């Protein structure tokens, strides 16, 4: 599948991250790829969903283990992950506006901003494994982003807020602040078997502020295992 990224481009059938976050992080290029015939989002929730057991798949067991890149194949096919809205409860953070189209915006008193979103029907992004698929998402947004620029990190994978719990592997891209600009980081994961993805963009006026904001995201924002 050819992957061209250009300002204003629209591609049917590929549900990637929304234009606003891509524009903010990737230098003003608007990337929008909606297909009106396909539901594109999974709603965020402040309450962590309790996984249920369906025939042939033990969702509770999957939710109880670390979701490494290789563990992505243990998810039920086509059942999307979610994102909590826990960052709104973090000190000095607040949610700005309503959760619209599966996208949540948060602002911090020091000028930092975070955008968190879930997308479904990500099948065109799916490659060999979840790590490769996630690297492909970054390349789709900007062809100059090579896999070697990406680092591995983790977010919370379900569990109980404030207590130790499982983690989910994500890939991270960091951008140093440009003159007059902001420092930024993106954390993302494509779940190939589930056909969905999560994407979190954080930008701040300075590198120290970004480090603190990223720590808040990793502590308070939870990737919700699929219930199915």
Question: Domain limits of the chain?
Answer: 39-224
Q: Which of 44, 25, 151, 40 is nearest to 87 (CA)?
A: 44
> Which of 43-47, 176-180, 200-204 has the lowest average pLDDT?
43-47
Q: What are the residues whose beta carbons fall under 8 Å from the beta carbon of 163, sequence distance 6 or more? A: none
pTM above 0.85, yes or no: no
Asked if pLDDT for residue 196 goes beyond 50, the answer is yes
Looking at CATH, the fold of the domain delimited by 39-224 is given as Protein Transport Mog1p; Chain A (3.40.1000)
pLDDT in tens, 127-164: 989 999 999 999 999 999 999 999 999 999 998 877 88
From the number of C-beta atoms within 10 Å of its C-beta (0-12, 13-18, 19+), residue 52 rates as exposed
Helix, strand, or coil (residue 212): helix
208 or 19, higher pLDDT: 208
pLDDT in tens, 89-122: 999 999 997 667 789 999 999 999 999 999 999 9
Contact 9, 31 (CB under 8 A): yes
Strand pairing report for 222-224 and 151-157: parallel
pLDDT in tens, 199-225: 999 999 999 999 999 999 999 999 999
């Amino acid at each position: 599948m050819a992957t061209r990224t250009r300002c204003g481009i629209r591609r049917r059938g590929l549900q990637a991250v929304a234009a606003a976050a891509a524009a903010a992080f990737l230098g003003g290029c608007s990337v929008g790829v909606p297909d009106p015939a396909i539901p594109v989002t999974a709603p965020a929730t402040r309450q962590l969903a309790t996984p249920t057991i369906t025939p042939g798949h033990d969702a509770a067991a999957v939710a109880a283990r670390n979701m490494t890149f290789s563990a992505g194949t243990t998810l039920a096919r086509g059942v999307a992950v979610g994102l909590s809205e826990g960052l709104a409860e973090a000190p000095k953070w607040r949610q700005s506006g309503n959760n619209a189209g599966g996208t949540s915006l948060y602002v911090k008193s020091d000028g930092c901003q975070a955008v968190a979103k879930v997308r479904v029907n990500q099948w065109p992004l799916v490659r060999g494994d979840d790590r490769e698929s996630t690297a492909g998402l970054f390349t789709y947004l900007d062809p100059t982003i090579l896999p070697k620029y990406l680092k591995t990190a983790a977010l919370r994978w379900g569990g109980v807020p404030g207590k130790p719990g499982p983690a989910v592997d994500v890939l991270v891209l960091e951008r140093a602040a440009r003159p007059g600009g902001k420092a930024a980081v993106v954390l993302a994961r494509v779940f190939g078997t589930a056909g969905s993805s999560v994407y979190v963009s954080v930008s701040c006026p300075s590198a120290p502020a970004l480090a603190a904001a990223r720590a808040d995201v990793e502590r308070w924002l939870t990737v919700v295992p699929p219930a199915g």
